[in-house]
Structure 1
Amino acid sequence: MPNLKRRPTNLSSAEKVSQAIDEALRENKKSRGTREEVLILGAPGSGKTTLMRQLRIIYDPYTVREREDFKPSIRSSVLHALRQLDSLLPAETPSILKILDSPPSETLVLTEDFATLIHDWWSRPDIQHTSSHLPLDPSTTHFLDRILPIAAEDYLPSDADILFCHIDPSPALDQLDIPFSEDRPFLHCTCIRQSLRSIHQWLPIFGEMSYIIFVFNLNHYDDVEDTRKTFDLWEYIYSSRFTRFAHIYLIINKPSTFASKLSKFPLNSIYPDAAPDITITPTAAEAFLLRRFAEQDYTGRRGIPIPRWTVDLMDTEGVRVTMRNLVEELVQTRMVMVCGL
């Protein structure tokens, strides 16, 4: 009788993540000869998940079955939206959760009757006026605007619903093949969601990656701790011996709301070294933040500016154009590497 090895069943969450990565890499080795490897990185909330979902929408659209699988997460996202709104509304404003008799700690069953109550409450002029002055996540307004179709019996999630929905916990590893070039038909994208604390453990596993796409959320500039994590991650990736042969590309997310946020939170109120004349000018403020990426090139080993694109990752057409340009850049880079052109 063959000696079969049994997998341990009492693994910690970190061990399960490590095991999932190992299994995925073993499968990947079978087809490495026909594709280029891309690692997608960024701090939490940078837009990595949105980018991966957009790539799926553009290059390999979700099937009906896959859209059905998103429904529980989307309906859970509706409750998340209600909780966020309820926590921000003034005390004198009628609470929708009290109207529904559903405390924030409980699960809301989204019936069509409840959806109608939520829709009628959300449509009230006083609620619309009050909420327009609150720092709501865009997903909150999206799901509340869509409450009736989401609760319908024949509901099938749209691309926008999928882009906005929260999945908790997110998968540790997300992978997708997209078209690349004739001789290398696939660009194999891997998005990994691991902390900076464990980077010394997971980065060596991806040491054979040819390219790295680093995502930066412009709108996080006022969160000093989050921005620090972003630049710590960037510095580690850029200077690591495991990425010395990788070509790095930068995607700047959320330019569409950067200007309005900058007017409320001037740059020099967070970064004292920012000159007053650039503190509320979006172009100059963005350049100031991006210089911090360029400053990490202290070794001079790259020798050329880091290619970068600014795009709102919720904009499918914008992502489509950006990826087309990025893939063209990858093709040119590979020609230089292979042919010395």
Structure 2
Amino acid sequence: MASSARSMAMSDLGDPFNPYIPPNETPEEKKRRIQREKEAKKHSEAIDRQLKAEKEEMEKTKSAKLLLLGSSESGKTTVLKQLKIIHGNGLEEERRQYARIVHLNVLTAMKALTSELESSGNSLDDPKNEEHLEKFQMLTTIKVTLNRNSLTVQAAIRDKKSDDDTASETFREHSESIQALWSDAAIRKCFEKASNIGLQDSAKYFLDHVERFAQPDYVPTDDDILQARVRTIGVTEHEFRIKGSDPEIFRIFDVGGHRSQRQYWAPYFDDVNAIIFMAAVSAFDQVLEEDSDVNRMRDSLQLFDTICNHPLFINTSIILFLNKIDILKKKIQKVKVKDYFEEYKGANDFQSVTKFFQRQFLAKNSNTEKHIYVHFTHATDTKQMRVIVASVNDIVQRMNLKASGLI
């Protein structure tokens, strides 16, 4: 804007550094010319000051743009929550709005377990719990409600408004039934099939704390919010200021990982400093919610291939989070990776399995010059995430220095 203003000034008022002196200039014309030159110089100096101020402001607000990509339920939103705890204003703005999300997460988990019990044809271990089971059989739209509330909670956080409390009322009406059913051996047996019935990873956490969640004055803790499952709708932008960093401002774009949401990614691909790609390494035995014929880990690998080798990202560094290692450690005690990945020939232990999946992702990269930084993460663990976020900050700073030609 200042540049165009300068051009206008030069055309209207003349160039003070190379003034045109007409031949046979009269004293009056000379006087007017000198006046114009003074005005032009004054105008130019004002523009110089404006340009300098704009440059200084740009330097002060220099930011890094990062894309947070990955399949649905890989843990992207949890990482953003951790960033708010570590480098933002914490989770206070959304704390109360998350109460109904926590309540819906509990209802969703128990609905999945009771549906599995019904479809398997098994009976409850304690006949007294039949009345509680009947109450849940009447709840038919819990997952739809959860997805709808994912949208409304984001709007509530943005607009700082509270939505209706229907979800929490439904939860409190069913809290006694949830506790009774969760203590039933038949329901616990259904829980062992968590991967097959689409049960969310944090289901046990929520079902173990029903009594606390049912208190009239319940306010979600940081751990409750970190464990809560919220489906990202559309694209959300988050800004974090990291003091002492260069750049100091990080703009992170979180996009929905559900297949139906991926069509909205492209407009955010321009001018990206780095990509954080998340994959749930524990999902090797699970299928997509939107397509039960597709293995979640294979979907993540295919998506990573597409992103990693996209023409716009050919030289863009990627920070790969292989997430949910805490769940993986427990899962491989009972489930064999080779039953889902026939190409896996190693031992069914944590180190061998994680190395295998790391190689699987790195093998997708067709550009040997591209840097891919791998982290094994437990996104709900704030202590671990502090270390990893610091590492990501260092990586982005090195990228910034490299782009500036300083290294």
Give the structure-1-normalised TM-score.
0.78
User: In the alignment, is residue 105 of structure 1 matched against residue 173 of structure 2?
Assistant: no
What is the match of residue 53 of structure 1? Answer: 81
User: In the alignment, is residue 172 of structure 1 matched against residue 207 of structure 2?
Assistant: no
Going from structure 1 to structure 2, the CA distance change for 1:242 and 1:112 (only over 3 Å counts) comes to closer
What's the CA shift string for 1:106-156, capped at 9, x where partnerless?
Answer: 6773475743453355346x4686466442544222222222222222111
One-letter code of the match for 2:282? N
Residue 334 of structure 1: CA displacement?
Answer: 1.9
Higher mean C-alpha deviation, range 307-316 or range 201-210: 201-210
User: In the alignment, is residue 36 of structure 1 matched against residue 25 of structure 2?
Assistant: no
What is the match of residue 321 of structure 2? Answer: 251
What is the match of residue 99 of structure 2? Answer: 71
What is the match of residue 344 of structure 2? Answer: 274
Going from structure 1 to structure 2, the CA distance change for 1:43 and 1:113 (only over 3 Å counts) comes to closer
Say which SS state the counterpart of residue 354 (structure 2) adopts: helix
Say which SS state the counterpart of residue 307 (structure 1) adopts: strand
Q: Work out whether residues 312 and 318 of structure 1, in 8 Å CA contact, stay in contact via their aligned partners in 2.
A: yes
User: In the alignment, is residue 295 of structure 1 matched against residue 323 of structure 2?
Assistant: no
Say which SS state the counterpart of residue 85 (structure 1) adopts: helix
Say which SS state the counterpart of residue 264 (structure 1) adopts: coil
Aligned counterpart for 1:186 among listed residues 243, 246, 249 = 249
Q: Counterparts of 1:173 and 1:338 in 2: how far apart (Å)?
A: 29
Unpaired stretches in structure 2, ≥5 consecutive residues: 1-57, 143-166, 287-293
Residue 191 of structure 1: CA displacement?
Answer: 0.8
Residue 190 of structure 1: CA displacement?
Answer: 0.9
What is the match of residue 92 of structure 1? Answer: 123
Going from structure 1 to structure 2, the CA distance change for 1:97 and 1:292 (only over 3 Å counts) comes to same
Aligned counterpart for 2:179 among listed residues 102, 114, 119 = 119
Q: Work out whether residues 273 and 316 of structure 2, in 8 Å CA contact, stay in contact via their aligned partners in 1.
A: yes
Instruction: State how 1:232-243 maps to structure 2 within 5 Å.
Output: 232-243=302-313
Q: Counterparts of 1:197 and 1:167 in 2: how far apart (Å)?
A: 16
Going from structure 1 to structure 2, the CA distance change for 1:113 and 1:200 (only over 3 Å counts) comes to closer
One-letter code of the match for 2:379? L
What's the CA shift string for 1:75-109, capped at 9, x where partnerless?
Answer: 22221121022123472214574364661316773
Aligned length: 306
Say which SS state the counterpart of residue 378 (structure 2) adopts: coil
What's the CA shift string for 1:161-189, capped at 9, x where partnerless?
Answer: 22222335x32122222234444221111
One-letter code of the match for 2:234? A
Residue 259 of structure 1: CA displacement?
Answer: 3.3
Residue 38 of structure 1: CA displacement?
Answer: 0.6
One-letter code of the match for 2:358? L
Residue 52 of structure 1: CA displacement?
Answer: 1.5
One-letter code of the match for 1:119? Q
Q: Counterparts of 1:228 and 1:334 in 2: how far apart (Å)?
A: 33
Give the structure-2-normalised TM-score.
0.66
One-letter code of the match for 2:178? I
What is the match of residue 336 of structure 1? Answer: 402
Going from structure 1 to structure 2, the CA distance change for 1:270 and 1:177 (only over 3 Å counts) comes to same
Say which SS state the counterpart of residue 287 (structure 1) adopts: helix
Going from structure 1 to structure 2, the CA distance change for 1:55 and 1:147 (only over 3 Å counts) comes to same
What is the match of residue 381 of structure 2? Answer: 315
Instruction: State how 1:161-240 maps to structure 2 within 5 Å.
Output: 161-167=224-230, 170-180=232-242, 181-193=244-256, 202-223=265-286, 225-240=295-310
Q: Counterparts of 2:236 and 2:59 in 1: how far apart (Å)?
A: 17
Q: Counterparts of 2:356 and 2:62 in 1: how far apart (Å)?
A: 40
Q: Work out whether residues 109 and 203 of structure 2, in 8 Å CA contact, stay in contact via their aligned partners in 1.
A: yes
One-letter code of the match for 1:317? K
Q: Counterparts of 1:200 and 1:80 in 2: how far apart (Å)?
A: 27
Unpaired stretches in structure 1, ≥5 consecutive residues: 1-29
Q: Work out whether residues 37 and 211 of structure 1, in 8 Å CA contact, stay in contact via their aligned partners in 2.
A: yes
What is the match of residue 332 of structure 2? Answer: 262
Q: Counterparts of 1:285 and 1:262 in 2: how far apart (Å)?
A: 9
Q: Counterparts of 1:295 and 1:254 in 2: how far apart (Å)?
A: 21
Q: Work out whether residues 96 and 118 of structure 1, in 8 Å CA contact, stay in contact via their aligned partners in 2.
A: no
Going from structure 1 to structure 2, the CA distance change for 1:296 and 1:106 (only over 3 Å counts) comes to closer
Q: Counterparts of 2:205 and 2:107 in 1: how far apart (Å)?
A: 12
Residue 40 of structure 1: CA displacement?
Answer: 0.5
Q: Counterparts of 2:221 and 2:130 in 1: how far apart (Å)?
A: 28
Say which SS state the counterpart of residue 81 (structure 1) adopts: helix
Q: Counterparts of 2:97 and 2:170 in 1: how far apart (Å)?
A: 16
**Percentage identity across aligned positions?**
20
Tell me which structure has the larger Cα radius of gyration. 2
